[in-house]
Amino acid sequence: MDVFAAVTRRRSIRRFKDRPVPDEALEKCVDAARLAPSGRNQQVCEYVVINDPAVLPGIFENIGGSVRLPPEKGGPAPSQTPGAYIIILINRKLEETPNRRHVSLIDVGLAAENIMLTALELGLGSCPILMFNEENLKLLLGIPAEYDVALVIAMGYPDESPVVEPAKGAVNIWVDEKGIRHVPKRRLEDIIHRNRFSAD
Ligand SMILES: Cc1cc2nc3c(=O)[nH]c(=O)nc-3n(C[C@H](O)[C@H](O)[C@H](O)COP(=O)(O)O)c2cc1C
């Protein structure tokens, strides 16, 4: 799959097939994250991969947003919850200075996209999740105090096919009567400024 095709095809997936996600797939995704750009190559991110059916429900209880909506509003049925997670941590001990955090968060975003595109190539869907209960996740997973939970990526084999469409004003994602998720994206002409900023 070429890179632009992958970027175009990737959508956040919130309904998954009831099918286990193999260790090797998660490891390949983390390997892709490992190779992502990072400010001054400091590589402050570490990753917890979760696919143990005994652990998955505890993670699901501690994440939020659309992935927790009821099925009629686009959320997963009980059998469609994520089959795996990759949790991106920031190791504070590796951050050279306290004001490095904004750089670290950019590192997290770049690592996350590598994970999600690699997942796509492996037939997996994913959804980045910033709404989570950090305290509970740290407790549940035994994450040491010097680590911050930066992002949770829900993963699994997709059981939905969201569609992207040009935004006509509002950019809220919406679910139609067939349960298909629509993702409005601002048009290229509305966001690009060629050679200098132009408001036209
Ligand atoms: C930084 C960030 C935080 C997000 N947090 C959540 C979240 O907490 N819950 C959720 O269901 N989706 C979350 N999303 C997914 C967005 O809703 C999704 O990316 C957006 O609607 C665009 O859809 P797309 O990913 O299919 O292009 C997050 C995405 C990003 C980039």
> Residue whose CA is closest, atom 7 of ligand 1?
129
Q: What is the CATH number of the domain that holds 124?
A: 3.40.109.10
The closest of 8, 98, 94 to 45, measured between CA atoms, is 94
Q: Which atom of ligand 1 is nearest to the CA of 66?
A: 11
99 in the same domain as 144:
yes
182 in the same domain as 138:
no
- Domain count across the chain: 2
**What is the per-residue pLDDT for 200?**
62
Question: What number of CA atoms fall less than 13 Å from residue 84's CA on the CB side?
Answer: 27
**What is the per-residue pLDDT for 97?**
86
What global pTM score does this model have?
Answer: 0.97
> Residue whose CA is closest, atom 26 of ligand 1?
11
Beta carbon of 110 within 6 Å of any ligand 1 atom: no
Q: Which of 129, 175, 186 to mutate to test the pocket of ligand 1 (most atoms within 8 A of CB)?
A: 129
Q: Which of 12, 114, 115, 153 to mutate to test the pocket of ligand 1 (most atoms within 8 A of CB)?
A: 12
pLDDT tens-digit profile, the chain (200 residues): 899 999 999 999 999 999 999 999 999 999 999 999 999 999 999 999 999 999 999 999 999 998 999 998 889 999 999 999 999 999 999 998 878 999 999 999 999 999 999 999 999 999 999 999 999 999 999 999 999 999 999 999 999 999 999 999 899 999 999 999 999 999 999 999 999 998 76
The closest of 151, 112, 109, 111 to 129, measured between CA atoms, is 151
135 in the same domain as 178:
no
> Residue whose CA is closest, atom 18 of ligand 1?
12
Task: Supply the DSSP string of the chain, one letter for each residue.
Answer: --HHHHHHH--B---B-S-PPPHHHHHHHHHHHHTS--GGG---EEEEEE--TTTHHHHHHTB-GGGGS-GGGT---GGGS-SEEEEEEEEGGG-SSGGGHHHHHHHHHHHHHHHHHHHHHTT-EEEEE--B-HHHHHHHHT--TTEEEEEEEEEESBS---EEEE-BSB---EE-TTS-EEEEE--HHHH---SS----
30 in the same domain as 17:
yes
12 in the same domain as 45:
yes
109 in the same domain as 170:
no
Beta carbon of 183 within 6 Å of any ligand 1 atom: yes
154 in the same domain as 125:
yes
For 54, the domain range is 3-161
Beta carbon of 77 within 6 Å of any ligand 1 atom: no
CB 82 within 8 A of CB 156: yes
